[in-house]
């Protein structure tokens, strides 16, 4: 029985800012206050830190929303290289925009209130307040078709998983800031469960229109289910950081369920809400009923714009870990990847 005094243990400590402070010093204050978004954000930092200090935890990053064109490309590539993320599950589009910069294209700072018909006539695409010139997409398409042709030739008669596809791209994109490249070089699995739903699909159209059916690239819609489930099964513990929701979130959660395991750590950053019943806004409590996340898991949902929230979490945790922190992911240490076609 919870007694009255149990509810009145720890007073809110009010935030004080007297001069220059580091990001983690601010987050510590948020933790002392402990309320509303500030409390949630500080808990999210604690959980990510704990995931990283847990040697036997495989850390998934689920990536939806146009955060790569908006400025998170290097941040994510660095997290992969620094072994602060072990597996990535992404929308196709985020990797399209990663590849677009890898082939020399750019995203431009724009504005959300603009004459979209003028942009259309100028062949400039808008993603909220980011602009992308069509010629950069055309350059990307051109490169992708060549890559697809090569991939198809090298893998004739073989169906790739979306992870194979992503690594094959990374292999051919020689750009150090590229997420795909970083994932390939570090053999970090990167799954694209809805890969066709992006410019990768349009490039396939171009590629397929010039080939007879047997010679086209084959990516199997289901194959990555086996791979991601295997990773969950073999990892002693699993955790996820979700940016946005959608297919990437669902894919990670389903893998945790399919492996009959349940996640031990979960941080979700979203603006969606639960009442309309969509997956992206569903609560972490709800995931417990399915066994996707453990009842006792360290878990928190932060309500906010990931472009604001996620870099804060990263900055806070990097500060906590310090310069000498080194981490070898369980899946690399135990060579889990051999089981799913890594090297």
Q: Indicate which residues carry an active-site annotation.
A: 292
Per-residue burial over 55-68, b if 16 or more Cβ lie within 10 Å, else e, is eebbbbbbbbbbbb
Query: Is residue 265 a contact point for a copy of itself (CB under 8 A)?
Result: no
Collect all residues with Cβ–Cβ distance below 8 Å to 219 and sequence separation of at least 6: 159, 160, 161, 162, 164, 165, 195, 196
Nearer to a copy of itself (CB atom), residue 34 or residue 342: 34
CA angle 28, 5, 10 (to 5 degrees): 10
**C-alpha pair distances (Å), 142 with each of 14, 148, 158, 213:** 56, 10, 23, 20
- 51-59, 234-242, 315-323, 335-343 -> range binding a copy of itself (CB under 8 A): 315-323
Task: Compute CA 113 distance to the chain's CA centroid, rounded to the nearest angstrom.
Answer: 28
Q: In the range 233-262, which residues lie near a copy of itself by CB under 8 A?
A: 244, 246-247, 250-251, 254, 257-258
Q: In the range 39-68, which residues lie near a copy of itself by CB under 8 A?
A: 39-41, 64-67
Query: Is residue 295 a contact point for a copy of itself (CB under 8 A)?
Result: yes
From 48, 58, 62, 69, residue interacting with a copy of itself (rule: CB under 8 A) = 69
**C-alpha pair distances (Å), 162 with each of 17, 50, 82, 143, 249:** 47, 30, 23, 18, 16
Nearer to a copy of itself (CB atom), residue 185 or residue 284: 284
Nearer to a copy of itself (CB atom), residue 36 or residue 142: 36
Nearer to a copy of itself (CB atom), residue 116 or residue 154: 116
Query: Is residue 150 a contact point for a copy of itself (CB under 8 A)?
Result: no
**C-alpha pair distances (Å), 246 with each of 9, 249, 257, 269:** 38, 6, 17, 12
Nearer to a copy of itself (CB atom), residue 24 or residue 56: 24
Task: Give the full edge-to-edge strand order of the sheet including 237-243.
Answer: 190-191, 87-90, 57-63, 237-243, 263-270, 293-303
Collect all residues with Cβ–Cβ distance below 8 Å to 151 and sequence separation of at least 6: 160, 165, 168, 217
Q: How far is the CB of 176 from a copy of itself (least distance, A)?
A: 12
Nearer to a copy of itself (CB atom), residue 12 or residue 153: 12
Query: Is residue 4 a contact point for a copy of itself (CB under 8 A)?
Result: yes
Q: How far is the CB of 205 from a copy of itself (least distance, A)?
A: 5
Collect all residues with Cβ–Cβ distance below 8 Å to 71 and sequence separation of at least 6: 307
Q: How far is the CB of 233 from a copy of itself (least distance, A)?
A: 11
Query: Is residue 73 a contact point for a copy of itself (CB under 8 A)?
Result: yes
Nearer to a copy of itself (CB atom), residue 138 or residue 221: 221
Q: How many CB atoms lie under 10 A from the CB of residue 69? A: 23
Contact between 51 and 239 under an 8 Å Cβ cutoff? The reply is yes
From 174, 211, 290, 328, residue interacting with a copy of itself (rule: CB under 8 A) = 290
Query: Is residue 264 a contact point for a copy of itself (CB under 8 A)?
Result: no
- 53-61, 168-176, 298-306, 331-339 -> range binding a copy of itself (CB under 8 A): 298-306
Query: Is residue 314 a contact point for a copy of itself (CB under 8 A)?
Result: yes
Comparing CA positions, the residue from 265, 276, 218 lying closest to residue 242 is 265
DSSP β-bridge partners for residue 241: 61, 267
User: Contact letters (x/-) for a copy of itself, 93-132, by CB under 8 A?
Assistant: x------------xxxxx-xxx-xxxxx-x-xxxxxxxx-
Query: Is residue 276 a contact point for a copy of itself (CB under 8 A)?
Result: yes
């Amino acid at each position: 029985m919870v007694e009255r005094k149990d509810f009145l243990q720890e007073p809110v400590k009010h935030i004080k800012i007297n001069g220059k402070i580091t990001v983690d010093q601010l987050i510590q204050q948020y933790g002392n206050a402990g309320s509303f978004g500030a409390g949630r954000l500080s808990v999210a930092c604690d959980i990510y830190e704990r995931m990283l200090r847990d040697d036997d935890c495989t850390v998934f990053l689920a990536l939806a929303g146009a955060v790569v064109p908006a400025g998170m490309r290097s941040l994510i590539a660095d997290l992969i290289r620094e072994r602060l993320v072990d597996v990535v599950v992404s929308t196709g589009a985020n990797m399209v925009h990663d590849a677009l910069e890898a082939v020399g294209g750019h995203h431009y700072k724009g504005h959300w209130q603009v004459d979209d018909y003028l942009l259309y006539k100028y062949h400039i695409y808008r993603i909220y307040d980011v602009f992308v010139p069509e010629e950069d997409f055309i350059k990307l398409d051109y490169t992708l078709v060549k890559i697809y042709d090569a991939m198809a030739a090298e893998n004739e008669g073989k169906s790739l998983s979306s992870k194979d596809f992503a690594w094959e791209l990374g292999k051919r994109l020689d750009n150090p800031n590229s997420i795909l490249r970083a994932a390939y070089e570090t053999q970090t699995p990167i799954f694209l469960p809805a890969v066709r739903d992006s410019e990768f699909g349009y490039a396939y159209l171009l590629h397929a229109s010039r080939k007879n059916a047997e010679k086209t690239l084959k990516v199997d819609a289901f194959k990555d289910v086996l791979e991601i489930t295997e990773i969950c099964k073999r990892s002693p513990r699993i955790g996820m950081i979700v940016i946005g929701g959608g297919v990437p979130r669902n894919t990670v959660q389903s893998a945790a369920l399919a492996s009959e395991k349940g996640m031990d750590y979960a941080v979700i950053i979203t603006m969606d809400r639960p009442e309309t019943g969509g997956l992206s806004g569903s609560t972490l409590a709800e995931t417990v009923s399915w066994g996707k996340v453990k009842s006792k898991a360290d878990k928190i949902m932060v309500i906010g714009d990931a472009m604001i929230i996620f870099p804060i979490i990263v900055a806070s945790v990097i500060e906590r870990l310090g310069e000498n922190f080194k981490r070898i992911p369980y899946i690399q240490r135990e060579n889990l990847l051999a089981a799913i076609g890594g090297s």
